[in-house]
Structure 1
Amino acid sequence: MALSTEEKLLIETRVANEAPNAAAAYLLWFFLGWVSAHRFYLGRPGTAILQILSYFIIIGFVWWLIDVFLIPGMIRARQQQLREQYARTGL
């Protein structure tokens, strides 16, 4: 099913309005990173729980530092999920 330009524009508008905000993700990472709030916010509860559990060994802290570079990719992935969801459900 091919989407019209108008439907694509509507999908992009919804994605822009409903997708995670990068500033909010980084604030959550900085202030509440120890409870993996940024990963819950970005729709990744499974890895958030793993990250919390891994804090009991040093790996969790390293993972938390690496997340500062992974957040933009997680946001793009969530935006793509929203696009696909809206295209499937007819907006």
Structure 2
Amino acid sequence: RPEVLLDALERAGATFEGENAPASAGKPLTKADLYGMGLTGGQDSGEKRRILLRRLALPEHLSVSAMLEALNLLYSREELLSLLSGEQRL
């Protein structure tokens, strides 16, 4: 969808004619964060990733590295943690 693409470009630091540069996106998510969320290195972590990716309307078969990159482009650390805390356990 166009709005998803525009949001991803803005988070990546793209500027648009007539707009000021965006503020810093903050600390990015890391693989350690994904581990802490139970999305890597644990029992059923693959299934938990698929559930999260499905909820976020992202391809379900992304590698951990690709998923991490996509999450950092589309969400701030705070947005994702907030989203996950509002959900039942994955």
TM interval, short-chain normalised:
0.3 to 0.5
Q: Does 1 or 2 have the higher relative contact order (CA < 8 Å, sep 6+)? A: 1
Q: Which has the larger radius of gyration?
A: 1
The TM-score, its normalising length taken from structure 1, stands at 0.33
The TM-score, its normalising length taken from structure 2, stands at 0.33
Q: Which protein is richer in helix relative to its size?
A: 1
